[in-house]
């Protein structure tokens, strides 16, 4: 951000061998709050509103009063399975929604117990916004997906892997490489061992992009036909995997489950990062277009009727991502996430484990990365329109969607891009107003409101930063 002050944007420090492997992914891609007291008043419409603080009265000059931040209620839900799905728990515990004038219904958000509950609940209209893995409902574009489009993308998940148990005699890709094979040949040899094998995976994996099929193609095999699949939810896979000899191979989908199983001695036969590192291969090219994003989906009519609230809601998300990038605050956020995942999923993760997930399995898209990585550059490895076009095309090819590709309007579907660009335009507007303020002789009360605008700006609430600056400058 052009006006960020005192924020270290360094990435999370590497903490496991996954982080070292993830460095190869980068090579593939190349080829807080304010101290003022909050008060509530009744706005002209009867709606309760929150002021940012008590205006100063300086020694003469123009007197201004900080505007009010309208209060709103958002029906919010998420599945606290994973770091990229429960990240807003940080905002809930830190009170950042309240600072943006937002109350959640229910308080603290509704927590799903299964991934498969999210789409039906949103289809029924039970909630305004939900955390979700966006690629997991593209198959509904013929029916209702346009009614609950994505409004925010927060990370890319690269943690897919086929894991082997600690007591398995199967060899991993790394084992074959240690014996002298190159990466590609090692991937072929590792996957060939899986022909006909019993493999445990969650049922919702069947509606996500075909990552395992990319893995299996190394040995000329196919997914799911070449495997004897057994279906269990991720947390149940983890529970059963603790019984020695009970499970030999697994394809878990939740990053915390992957990390905990790795901590318990499971090893990847093959993983996404290895595939992406096999530069020039058919598999690497396919995987680049399939890696998927978590974020928010929302009721389209809610966004259209509550545009500024939607922008404020997303701004809280960017504030969370910034805090997770900051060495001064990230451990606190990781610990908040770990505590909720452990309480709801029966795991034993530490805050540092969550840090490993963000560093090596869930690389995030903070504010500064959104445009370059997702929206502006068609050649960027995670360019949303390119990856969705590929994935929708694959669903048409296998008969899941009717097609043709031109029938699916990405402009209408990707509300996330529209909202990002609206926030970016507001940031530019705020930058101009700050520059104007710097060239003026401000009264004490004007300066106080400008200072409050800076706090809002630093927290990515560009909507209200502009409103406060306009009030301060008499615009």
CA 346 to chain centre: 22
- The CA R_g of the chain, rounded to the nearest whole Å, is 24
Structure tokens at 220: 């000329």
172 and 104 in one domain?
no
Q: At what angle do helices 330-345 and 255-263 cross, to 10 degrees?
A: 90
Q: What pLDDT sits at residue 50? A: 42
Q: What are phi and psi of 234, to 5 degrees?
A: -55, -45
**CA separation for the pair 303, 198 (Å, rounded):** 45
Question: How far, in Å, are 251, 289, 352 from residue 157 at the CA level?
Answer: 14, 12, 18
**Sheet of 150-157, strands arranged across:** 102-111, 72-78, 129-133, 292-298, 150-157
Residues with pLDDT less than 50, the chain: 4-60
Of the residues 282, 307, 332, the one at which a domain ends = 282
212 and 109 in one domain?
no
Specify if 16 maps to a domain. Answer: no
Specify if 118 maps to a domain. Answer: yes
Residue from 295, 374, 353, 363 nearest 325 by CA: 363
Q: What pLDDT sits at residue 208? A: 61
Residue from 385, 215, 210, 360 nearest 290 by CA: 210
314 and 355 in one domain?
yes
How many domains, in total, are found in the chain?
Answer: 2
Specify if 189 maps to a domain. Answer: yes
278 and 368 in one domain?
no
Q: What angle do CA 165, 157, 356 make, to 5 degrees?
A: 65
Give DSSP secondary structure letters for 338-360. Answer: HHHHHHHH-----HHHHHHIIII
- Non-local (6+) Cβ contacts of 82 within 8 A are 254, 255, 256, 294, 341, 357, 362
Specify if 218 maps to a domain. Answer: yes
Quote the domain boundaries for residue 135. Answer: 38-53+62-157+291-419
Specify if 148 maps to a domain. Answer: yes
- Non-local (6+) Cβ contacts of 9 within 8 A are 325, 326, 366, 368
Q: What pLDDT sits at residue 3? A: 63
48 and 143 in one domain?
yes
Specify if 296 maps to a domain. Answer: yes
172 and 87 in one domain?
no
Structure tokens at 374: 């997702």
**CA separation for the pair 62, 475 (Å, rounded):** 13
Q: Are 148 and 127 in contact (CB under 8 A)?
A: no
Of the residues 375, 402, 419, the one at which a domain ends = 419
**CA separation for the pair 263, 31 (Å, rounded):** 32
229 and 141 in one domain?
no
Residue 58 CB neighbour total at 10 angstroms: 16
Q: What pLDDT sits at residue 158? A: 81
Of the residues 227, 252, 282, the one at which a domain ends = 282
Q: Are 170 and 164 in contact (CB under 8 A)?
A: yes
Question: How far, in Å, are 26, 233, 339, 433 from residue 384 at the CA level?
Answer: 17, 28, 32, 32
124 and 190 in one domain?
no
Q: What are phi and psi of 49, to 5 degrees?
A: -130, 160
**CA separation for the pair 427, 122 (Å, rounded):** 31
Specify if 414 maps to a domain. Answer: yes
411 and 368 in one domain?
yes
Residue 411 CB neighbour total at 10 angstroms: 9
335 and 259 in one domain?
no
Q: What pLDDT sits at residue 209? A: 61
**CA separation for the pair 338, 182 (Å, rounded):** 37
115 and 100 in one domain?
yes
Q: What is the pLDDT of residues 206-261, one digit of tens each?
A: 656 678 999 999 999 999 999 999 999 988 998 888 888 899 999 998 888 888 89
Domain CATH code at residue 265: 3.40.190.10
Specify if 14 maps to a domain. Answer: no
**CA separation for the pair 44, 55 (Å, rounded):** 20
174 and 132 in one domain?
no
């Amino acid at each position: 951000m052009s006006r960020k002050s005192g924020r270290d944007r360094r990435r999370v420090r590497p903490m496991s061998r996954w982080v070292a492997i993830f460095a190869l992914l980068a090579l593939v891609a190349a080829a807080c709050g304010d101290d003022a007291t909050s008060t509530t008043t009744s706005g002209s419409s009867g709606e309760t509103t929150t002021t940012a603080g008590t205006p100063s009265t300086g020694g003469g000059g123009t007197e201004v009063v900080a505007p009010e931040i309208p209060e709103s209620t958002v029906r919010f839900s998420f599945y606290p399975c994973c770091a990229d799905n429960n990240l807003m728990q940080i905002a809930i515990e830190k009170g950042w929604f309240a600072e943006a004038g937002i109350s959640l219904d229910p308080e603290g958000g509704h927590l799903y117990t299964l991934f498969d509950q999210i789409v039906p609940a949103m289809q029924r209209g039970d909630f305004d916004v939900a955390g979700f893995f966006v690629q997991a409902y593209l198959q509904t574009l013929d029916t209702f997906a346009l009614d609950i489009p994505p409004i925010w993308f927060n990370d890319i998940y690269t943690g897919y892997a086929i894991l082997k148990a600690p007591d398995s005699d199967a060899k991993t890709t790394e084992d074959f490489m240690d014996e002298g094979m190159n990466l590609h040949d090692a991937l072929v040899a590792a996957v060939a061992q899986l022909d006909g094998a019993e493999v445990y995976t969650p049922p919702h994996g069947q509606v996500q992009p075909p990552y395992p099929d990319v893995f299996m193609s190394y040995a000329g095999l196919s997914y799911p036909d070449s495997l004897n699949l057994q279906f269990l939810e991720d947390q149940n896979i983890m529970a059963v995997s603790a019984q020695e000899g009970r499970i030999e191979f697994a394809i878990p989908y939740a990053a915390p489950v992957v990390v905990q199983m790795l901590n318990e001695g499971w090893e990847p036969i093959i993983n996404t990062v290895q595939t992406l590192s096999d530069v020039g291969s058919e598999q690497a090219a396919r995987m680049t277009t399939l890696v998927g994003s978590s974020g928010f989906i929302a009721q389209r009519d809610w966004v259209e009727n509550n545009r500024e609230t939607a922008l404020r809601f997303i701004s809280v998300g960017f504030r969370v991502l910034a805090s997770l990038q900051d060495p001064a605050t990230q451990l606190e956020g990781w610990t908040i996430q770990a505590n909720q995942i452990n309480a709801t999923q029966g795991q034993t993760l530490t805050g540092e484990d969550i840090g490993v997930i963000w560093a090596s399995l869930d690389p995030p898209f903070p504010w500064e990365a959104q445009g370059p990585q997702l929206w502006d550059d068609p050649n960027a490895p995670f360019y949303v329109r390119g990856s969705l076009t590929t994935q929708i095309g694959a669903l048409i090819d296998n008969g899941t969607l009717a097609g043709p590709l031109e029938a699916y309007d990405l402009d209408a579907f990707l509300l996330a891009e529209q909202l990002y660009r609206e926030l970016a335009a507001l940031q530019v507007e705020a930058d101009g107003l700050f520059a104007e303020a710097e060239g003026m002789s401000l009264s004490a009360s004007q300066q106080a409101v400008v200072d409050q605008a800076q706090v809002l700006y630093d927290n990515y609430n560009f909507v209200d930063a502009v409103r406060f600056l306009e009030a301060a400058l008499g615009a």
